[in-house]
Each structure stands twice: as C-alpha cells, then as structure tokens.
Structure 1
Amino acid sequence: MDPHVLARARARVLGVPSVPVSEPVPPGTAGASDGARVWLLPEWPDGATPALLEEYETAPMPLERAGQARRVLAAALRCCWPRLDDLPWPGVRAAVADVLEVYATMTRGDAELARRWATGELRRLSDTGWLLLDEAAGTVRPGPRVALWPEGSLASLRDLLHRLPPPPRRGSTGEDDHE
C-alpha cells in the first residue's frame, strides 16, 4: 500500500498523532517537532485543493464557521507567537483567557457570547491540529499544522497579526516554554 495513502487514512482516524522524537517519522508523513515530540502530519500532493482535502475528510480548517475559526486562530497566534520575526512553530503557551480576550476585542456585540463561541472554536482547532489546547492547564499554543506553513506565506500573516490587539500581559507562561 502507498505510504502516503496510509498516512492520510491514519490522519482521518487518529487526527494528528504524536510520537517521541526518538522514533522515526513513517513514510508518507511530515514530522513537526517541538523538541520533545513529533507530530505526524500526512503529506499531500502539491496542488491539493481544499475540495480534495474535504473529500478526504481532512479539511485544512474546520468549516462549520470558517470565518470565526480563522479569527480565533488569529487571536491564538497573536498570543502564542510573540516574536513575529521568528517562525510560528513551536510558539509559546498562552493563557486561554488571553486568547479569548483578544478575540472578544476583535468582534462586535456581546463579548461574553463571543468568548463562549471562541471556546468551541479553540476545541475544534485543537481537534484538527491547528492548535494544542490544554484545557486542564488553561493554555494553548500553535499546533503542528502551523509548522508546515512555508516561510514565504508568513509575510501577510505577520502583517495581519501586527494589526490585532496585543494580548494582555498577565497570561503568558514564558517564551521558552514549548512543551
């Protein structure tokens, strides 16, 4: 069996699994390491469109409320990517409360309702590998899919994040904290 097909099938069933860095990265996957673990992401053929990814049930973004999911991801990146000249992966941990605060300042209307909706989006983004959410600790950081963004695609994202409200100072868990 083609290792790429097998990797895509595993991703559909398991999500984005991780292994210790000491284990080899299986064929058909790209490894995104943060030093302690390696997340196994399926490799897609060049030119794979969102429609193709959706057909394989591995959409690049949760599509229920794609606009809202992108805004929540942007708020999380604003908090978890403090040095925009660096790469976004592995990023730093940020308090979920800080991400929700940044998101609430980006929206109109009821701020508490916005926070509740954003909490659901954080969970969906975590389920799809865009974020790593630790609900027990109340923290979030960039997920392994972020590691696959090519450097050339980051300029417009950096520009966008510069325009978002800054995160509150109280919730960062430290820039060197990648676990």
Structure 2
Amino acid sequence: MSAAYELAKLRALRILPQPLDRTERDALRDAALLAGRGLVDVSLPDGSAAVVLSWPDGHEPVVLSEASRSATSTVQLVLAACLRSCWPDPDAPPYPGVAATEEQVLTALEGLETPSAEPEESSRNGRYRARKSALRVLRACAFLQPDAGDGVVRLGPAVALWTPAEVAELRREHHVLPGRPEERT
C-alpha cells in the first residue's frame, strides 16, 4: 500500500501496527515528515509494536496540548481515575498500561462526591451518567482506546504522546490520583 494511504489511515485510526518491512516504515515516516508530523513508536498491550502520529516539539496544536486542561472537572476526574486504574505502577511507562473495567474506574471515584441538596438517588444517577459521558469524551479525544463494547478501559494513544516532563509530574503525583477504595489509605 502507498505511504499516503497508510498516513491517512493512521490519521483516522490514531494508531497502527508498525509496518514490519523497513522500506514501508521509512516511507511512512517520510510521508509523515512531509505532512509536518512525526511518528512515535509505542507498544500495544500485547507487546506488539505500533506507531502514533506526533507533532514536532513546540508545534502541537493548542487544542491538543490544552485538551486535558480545558476539560470539565468531571472529565478531568475520570481521566485521573482511568490513569490510576490503568497505570498502577508509576515506575512503568503509562502507555499502554493495563486494562481496567469501567466499574473499577467509576468505583475509584466514589467518595469524591460533594454533599448535594438533591435527593441521594437522583444525585448518584446524575454523577454516574456524567462520568459515563466523560469516558466517551476521553475516548473521542484518544486519551482512551475506543469502546469495544466489553466494559473495559484502556489508555489511548494520546497518552503515549505526553512529554517526559508531563509523565514525570504524573509519577510524582500518582499517589493522589483517585484509586479503588482499598487503595485509599
């Protein structure tokens, strides 16, 4: 297949298995460079090699670099719970992390509720719906893998593009990310 086709496919899917043939890999890298982009080599959960499109340092679109900072507080909290659930060992690279269930992620957020004047049941249902919606937003922004319909959460390719400084900061603060109730001590 042509490098232009593979580049278009990579743009659409956000992550592709790394071409095994060196010539194809070099052609894809050259096509990305011509488009003002780069390739980042990552590992998939099964250990196989993949590539993700990146932006040259300092040239990331503002919308991408600020996506997690301008998100609603619910989306930020759900991302934090996903990180803690899918990245249990801060000494390991955050991507690809491990799989977690949606229920593990949502349970990690229990206890973070603020008192409300709403009836308990109504308030709980509203939080649950908002957090499920936040999972959809995070999947759409590639912070999480697309929903496979199996109730499993996996970190997405946008996490693989975090800078070493961002990952170092997350490692320092890993202990304050919302975890499962048994992890909160």
TM-score (norm 2): 0.68
Instruction: Count the aligned residue pairs.
Output: 158
- Residue 53 of structure 2 corresponds to residue 42 of structure 1: yes
Aligned residues of 1:122 and 1:133 also touching (Cα < 8 A): no
Shift of 1:130: 0.9
Distance 1:168 1:132, change over 3 A: farther
Q: Whose radius of gyration is greater, 1 or 2?
A: 2
Q: Distance in 1 between matches of 2:154 and 2:59?
A: 26
Identity %: 29
Residue 157 of structure 1 pairs with residue 165 of structure 2: no
SS in 2 for 1:90: coil
Report if the CA contact (8 A) 2:78-2:135 is conserved.
yes
Unmatched segments (≥5 aa) in structure 1? 170-179
User: For residue 150 of structure 2, what is the aligned residue in structure 1?
Assistant: 137
How far apart are the structure 2 equivalents of 1:74 and 1:155?
15
Within 2, Cα distance between the matches of 1:136 and 1:113? Answer: 22
Corresponding residue for 1:102? 108
Query: Alpha carbons of 1:167 and 1:157: their partners in 2 closer, same or farther (altered >3 Å)?
Result: same
Distance verdict in 2 for CA 1:22–1:167, change over 3 Å: farther
Q: Within 5 Å, which residues of 2 pair with 1:24-43?
A: 24=25, 26-27=28-29, 28=32, 29-34=39-44, 35-36=47-48, 38=50, 40-43=51-54
Judge conservation of contact 1:72–1:118 (CA < 8 Å) in 2: yes
Cα distance change, pair 46–37 in 1 and its aligned pair in 2 (3 A):
closer
Provide closer, same or farther for how the CA distance between residues 104 and 37 of structure 1 changes in structure 2, counting only shifts above 3 A.
Answer: farther
Residues 65, 92 of structure 1: alpha-carbon distance in 2 compared, 3 angstrom cutoff? same
Name the SS for the 1:106 alignment partner: coil
* 1:19 matched to 2:35: no
Q: TM-score, normalization: structure 1?
A: 0.69
